[in-house]
Amino acid sequence: MGYSKCATSGETEVYGVIGDPIDHTMSPAIQNAAFQSTQINAVYVPFCVKKSELKNAIQGIRALGVKGFNVTVPHKVGIIRYLDRIDRTADEIGSVNTIVNSGGLLYGYNTDGAGALKSLEEAGAQVNDKSILLFGAGGASRALAYSFASHAKTIKIINRTMSKAKQLQRRLQKKFEVDVAVIGLSSGLIKDFVDEADIIVNASSMGHGGLVDPPVKQIWLRPSQFVLDIVYNPIKTKLLRIAEEAGATTIDGLHMLVNQGACSFEIWTGKKAPVAAMHDAIRQKVLV
Ligand code: ATR
């Protein structure tokens, strides 16, 4: 029998997510399904933590012995100063989304990049030696760009703010062999960038809430391409819809969410994440 939320005992371990707002987080559904499916006696709880309360929250986490937690907006950068150790890539990206509490020491990681690679792999996309087009140059984009950069042939970045795209370009070129090109959102080269890409990834907030969409036309896309969108509200963004219509392979933001959660679960427990159970839980939640 699996452990449900009602089956907590003195041995139940506590995990969670901190953010503000936190009401709409899907992580508890994903992680509690994973704990139940693997028979781990643990619960995963959402905590709404205001920016001004972050330091107190971390003290509370240490005092209560919370075993591990995820970090979401607006704390992914601010949390770093309260950690005892930080994984090298997370440090370079400057953003943490997963913390392990190991005997009172807090270790920070970022699983966004690994989650994206896992999602692409699941869909049959090989990143090795490929041309990748990335929309965005914020925290999530940086994490994804770093994980693509050690495999890909080229990374092309399109971002609203050119200075941020150029900064990411410099950081990638300093550390990796990969070719990096950047343009702004109003550039006439966007069609060429889309055409040259094997894999197109929207890691920006464009498409969220169905508002501003990435400037891609269906006729620029083709069946051999893979299109990943990290936005999951709506699940089928306009970018994914036109990619599907063009015959490309699409990967939605829920896959990405489950896979970055699966990477967190594996860091916390050392066990293989039950990805199918995690997917079921999230699909049930969004269909309610
Ligand atoms: P996250 O941590 O989720 O990556 P972020 O660091 O704030 O969040 O990054 C958001 C990304 O979405 C950025 O690339 C941002 O572009 P800017 O660098 O120009 O800010 C992009 N973005 C957000 N809203 C956008 C909009 N309305 N149009 C175009 N790009 C947008």
- Output the CA 139–ligand 1 centroid distance in Å: 9
Short-list 154, 188, 187, CA closest to 169: 154
Measured CA to CA, the distance from residue 32 to residue 81 in angstroms comes to 28
* % the chain with pLDDT above 70: 97
Q: Could you identify the atom of ligand 1 that is nearest to the CA of residue 185?
A: 29
Q: What is the mean pLDDT of the chain?
A: 95
Short-list 88, 86, 46, 87, CA closest to 70: 46
CA-closest residue to ligand 1 atom 6 = 138
Output the six-digit token pair for 99: 């913390």
pLDDT higher than 80, residue 4: no
Cα end-to-end span (Å), the chain: 25
Mean pLDDT, residues 138-165: 97
Q: What is the pLDDT of residue 79?
A: 97
Are 213 and 190 in contact, with CB atoms under 8 Å apart?
no
Ligand 1 proximal residues by C-beta, below 6 Å: 136-141, 159-161, 164, 185, 204-206, 212
- Output the CA 261–ligand 1 centroid distance in Å: 22
- Output the CA 207–ligand 1 centroid distance in Å: 11
Q: Which helix (H) or strand (E) holds 106?
A: strand 105-109
Mutate to test the pocket of ligand 1, among 111, 112, 159, 205 (most ligand atoms within 8 A of CB): 205
Query: Over the stretch 199-234, which tens digit does the pLDDT of each residue have?
Result: 999 999 999 998 899 999 999 999 999 999 999 999
CA-closest residue to ligand 1 atom 16 = 160
Q: What is the pLDDT of residue 77?
A: 95
The string of DSSP letters for 83-104 reads: -SEE-HHHHHHT---EEEEETT
Are 220 and 191 in contact, with CB atoms under 8 Å apart?
yes
Q: What is the pLDDT of residue 279?
A: 96
Mean pLDDT, residues 31-37: 98
Give the confidence band of 6 by pLDDT, cuts at 50, 70, 90: low
Query: Over the stretch 165-193, which tens digit does the pLDDT of each residue have?
Result: 999 999 999 999 999 999 999 999 999 99
Q: Could you identify the atom of ligand 1 that is nearest to the CA of residue 136?
A: 14
Residues catalogued as catalytic: 76
Three-state SS for 139?
Answer: helix
Q: Which residues pair with 58 in a beta bridge?
A: none
Mean pLDDT, residues 66-94: 96
Q: What is the pLDDT of residue 76?
A: 95
Q: Which residues contact 119 (CB under 8 A, 6 or more apart)?
A: 228, 251, 255, 256, 259
Q: What is the pLDDT of residue 286?
A: 81
CA atoms within 13 A on the CB side of 194: 22
Give the confidence band of 2 by pLDDT, cuts at 50, 70, 90: very low
Are 258 and 111 in contact, with CB atoms under 8 Å apart?
no
Mean pLDDT, residues 142-169: 97
CA dist list (Å): 101 to 31, 83, 98, 160, 281: 17, 10, 10, 37, 26
Query: Over the stretch 38-57, which tens digit does the pLDDT of each residue have?
Result: 999 999 999 999 999 999 99
- Output the CA 161–ligand 1 centroid distance in Å: 9
CA atoms within 13 A on the CB side of 266: 16
